[in-house]
Amino acid sequence: MDLGLKGLKAVVTGGTKGIGRAIARTLAAEGAHVALCARNADEVAMTALEFSALGVKVFGGVTDVADGPGLAAFVSAAAEALGGIDIVVANVSALAVAGDEAAWQSGFAVDLMGTVRLVNAAMPHLERSAHGAIVTISSVSGREIDFAAGPYGAFKAAIIHYTHGLACQLAGKRIRANSVSPGNTYFPG
């Protein structure tokens, strides 16, 4: 399949497992250069090596998206390594479904602020791109009341709202912003 991504430069948070890994691999298979991050150094190194075999530049960074300065440093290093940024995919989630205060704080720091900080850090690069695109990974739990109606669902709903606002605000700059809301997704591990 040719999605017209050859040579574009993409950043994917949480790119070593599950949905993020599938996104990063698909981008690389389509010829996009990819920067990915996760918290586990061994998984980042192995995934970057595997995806670089697809014939594209791959940059891996060990990053916790809840660490604002660390996330900004990763985005800056990714832009340097890839020669810019055309696409950002905010994929990471704390998967906070408990109702206690710690779950609310974790969901806020990782799901919501990890997304906002990624977009803010990438914005100068996206503004210079002729192909600027922001993709946020939400969830059906952000639109429906289900088992994750607590912090997880609330922050996924906030991500949908945030992304809709970005789409309206950035249209004049020709930067697209879209949210994807997958249902339950199962993967090994």
What's the pLDDT tens digit per position in 103-140?
Answer: 999 999 999 999 999 999 999 999 999 999 999 999 88
Domain of residue 28: give its range.
9-180
Q: What is the pLDDT of residue 186?
A: 67
On whether the CB atoms of residues 28 and 58 are closer than 8 A, the answer is yes
**pLDDT above 70 (res 189):** no
Task: Give a yes or no: residue 1 inside a domain.
Answer: no
Residue 93 dihedral angles phi and psi, to the nearest 5°: -140, 145
Active site residues: 138-139, 152, 156
Q: How many domains, in total, are found in the chain?
A: 1
Task: Give a yes or no: residue 188 inside a domain.
Answer: no
Domain CATH code at residue 126: 3.40.50.720
64-104: pLDDT as tens digits:
999 999 999 999 999 999 999 999 999 999 989 899 999 99
